Each structure stands twice: as structure tokens, then as C-alpha cells.
Amino acid sequence: MELVDQVLKGENSALARLISLVENESSHIPEVMKLICPHLGKAHCVGITGPPGSGKSTLVDRLTVLARKQGLEVGIIAVDPSSPFTGGAVLGDRIRMQQHYLDPGVFIRSMATRGSLGGLPEAASSVIRLLDAAGKDIIMVETVGVGQSEVDIMEKTDTVIVIQCPESGDAIQTMKAGLFEIADIFVVNKADHPDADKLVRDIQAMLNLREPGWWDIPVIATEAVNDVGIEDLYTQIQSHRQALCETGQLLQRRRLQRKFDFVRTVERKLTHKLLKSVEQDGQLSVYIDKVEKGELDPYSAAEEVLRSEKLLTDWICQ
């Protein structure tokens, strides 16, 4: 495909067009992914997650400045809430990154969650691959900021940064159900707040309860809006990348990423097939009708469908 050739040459306009095809679930996407596969694996993908208002976009903006000073090509995926009317991105975090618009070495793409509960849209993995194939050295993925359920970022990135700020209430309680377990680097933003030092100590105390591993998780205090602590954070990102390579963890994470992508893709395609079959297949409609009327419980109906070899074969082969 001509668009793929242009993307591999680093042309941002072609990259934008291919990303749109991915978001719109074009039938050409399997071919595109096959063509770019040999060119993947060079970019360092950094995930940034945390509660709304914690300063994620400003932090990404400041990190981008440092990356560009090193001459690195940067790709940014900013995930925003979905519009209930159009399904598109509402807030447009790119507003906070206006200084990079005219920089050809920075590619920024806002994406809507489109109903995803894990903080990232389904298309995020494919978009990350496209940015990697386009020659971006570092890819920063900013999640939508919905809270502790945003663990999808762990399955798609090499380094996960979890941001908290003193204003977010009981941050340790917020993190322990999910975000605490996925962090490679903790950031306490808005460090000029009176309770910032206490939050840093609380996070460090929680980290001390963990078993020692191949990487000592740092806690960095920043004031992103004032550009304080950003260089320290950027250094830790580079250190984590180096540690990933030296310990073999990068290879292991990439293997898991490919596994998760495969499983998620199969799940998504089977779900689409099932929904289509429900609309078209009379036998499946009978089960749905019985469940709706309360004549059959959902679990028994599902078991009967799964035991029906003919029904499953007809469904999968559609």
C-alpha cells in the first residue's frame, strides 16, 4: 500500500490517514498491520495514567520538550472522554500542547475512549504500532483519567507512570485496587501543595512493603506547570528503559504485549460475530427471547449455545 510506504518514510500526513482507518475499523487494517510488522520494536512506549486533573497533559508536554532537545521523534496519543453525541473526543488534550503543533518531529493524536473502561480505546494498540513504524523514538500514551480501573496501559506500554496529586483525596486508597500494582514510576504532581511531602512518604512506605525486584520504583515530586522535577522524571524514564534492556524484561514485556493484542483481537472479532449472529440467526434469537421472558436464565442459555457444535460452527464460519 502506498500509504504504508509513506508512513515508513515518516510522513505524518499519511500516518494521520492510516490512524483514521484504524479508528474506523477499515477492512484494509489487517493488511496494513502485516506490512508494518517487520518495522516494529524500536520505539520506547511510555504510558501516563492517573486521576483527572492530576496534570497528565502538562507533564506530557514538558517531557516532549526534553525529548526534542535530544533530537528524538515523539508520538503522543491523548485519550479523551467520548462525546455522547458523536463518539469523538470531547476535551482535546492537544490544547495543552499547542507549542508542538508546528514541530514536524512531534505527532499528536487525540482519541476517544468509545466506551472502553480500561482508560484506552480498542484501537490504541494499532495506533501505537503505526507510530512505531513511522519512526517515532518515544511514544507517550496518556489515558483518559477515570481512576483505578485504568490498567489497560500496562498491556500496551513499556514504562508506566502513575501520577497522583495531593488534591485527589486518599490517594493510597485510590491506587491499591489497580494503579499501585502497575506503576514503574510514581509522580506526585503539584508538589507545591502543603500535603505533597506526606503523599510522597505514604507512597514510599507502601513501596517498602513490596518484595525487592529487578527495578526500584522511584517516587518523583514535580510541579509540571512550573517545569519543576521534569528532568528528574525524564532521567528515570531513561533509566527504566536501560534496566528493561539489561535485565531482559523488555523482551518479556513485548512478548506479553503481543499476546494481549492477539487475545483482545480474537475477543473483539468474536464479539462482533456474535452480535451479528444474534441479529441474523433465528436459533440464537430464540435463546435471547427465552432469556428476556425469564423462561431461561442467561447461564443455562450460554451453556446450551456452547454445547451446540453446529450452532458454534455456523456462527464462527460466518
**Residue 21, in any domain of the structure:** no
Residues 168 and 306 in one domain: no
C-alpha separations of 252 from 120, 256, 258 in Å: 22, 6, 10
CA proximity to 96, closest of 122, 112, 78:
78
- Specify whether the CB–CB gap between 106 and 74 falls below 8 A: yes
The structural domain count of the chain equals 2
**Residue 7, in any domain of the structure:** no
**Residue 13, in any domain of the structure:** no
Residues 279 and 158 in one domain: no
> What confidence score (pLDDT) does residue 177 get?
52
> What confidence score (pLDDT) does residue 81 get?
59
Residues 186 and 299 in one domain: no
C-alpha separations of 237 from 31, 46, 151, 154, 186 in Å: 33, 8, 19, 15, 11
Q: In the chain, which stretches have pLDDT less than 70?
A: 81-98, 113-120, 145-151, 167-179, 278-282, 308-318
CA proximity to 63, closest of 234, 236, 240, 187:
234
**Residue 29, in any domain of the structure:** no
Provide the 3-class DSSP secondary structure of residue 143. coil
Residues 185 and 290 in one domain: no
> What confidence score (pLDDT) does residue 255 get?
93
**Residue 12, in any domain of the structure:** no
C-alpha separations of 318 from 89, 264, 281, 289, 312 in Å: 33, 20, 10, 22, 10
Residues 150 and 210 in one domain: yes
> What confidence score (pLDDT) does residue 182 get?
85
**Residue 33, in any domain of the structure:** no
Among 221, 247, 273, residue at a domain's last position = 247
pTM of structure: 0.84
List the grid coordinates of 51. Answer: 486521576
Q: Which domain holds residue 293?
A: 261-316
